[in-house]
Amino acid sequence: MGRAALAVGSMDELPKASLWIPEEAPTDLDEKEIVLRRLEGQNPNLHVAKWCTFHHETKKDPKGNLFVFGIRDEDVGSLKVKSMRVSFVFTSSLTIRPNAEAGPSEE
């Protein structure tokens, strides 16, 4: 019979990446929940529900949301294939940057 193995690691060991989303949510729902639902729904090849949110900040000037995620290795590989870009809303594609380097940009 085969052996089973379990590896347990700290969330701090997850690869960290940041994402700047230049908009505010148009509803009264929690910004974080809206963003995570949109990311998950529009990127079915990623396991967004398994990402760890290390930091979330809603900014007023410029308007938007800054996230720092811990992303599982399997999703890092999928993101690299897509040049670290994720779909968000219908007209935009956003870039995930390594280790909290994101912020308002000219993209």
Higher-pLDDT residue of 37, 98: 37
Radius of gyration for the alpha carbons in the chain, expressed in angstroms and rounded: 15
SS3 string, 18-74, reads EEEECCCCCCCCCHHHHHHHHHHHHCCCCCHHHCEEEEEEEEECCEEEEEEEECCHH
Structural domains of the chain sorted by starting position, each given as residue range(s) with its CATH number in brackets: 14-98 (3.30.70)
Highest mean pLDDT: which range of 11-25, 61-75, 86-100: 61-75
pLDDT category at 41 given cuts 50, 70, 90 is very high
pLDDT in tens, 4-27: 544 445 555 678 888 888 776 555
For the entire predicted model, the pTM comes to 0.68
Triad 12, 83, 36: Cα angle to 5°: 55
Instruction: Compute the distance between CA of residue 69 and CA of residue 99 in angstroms, rounded to an integer.
Output: 9
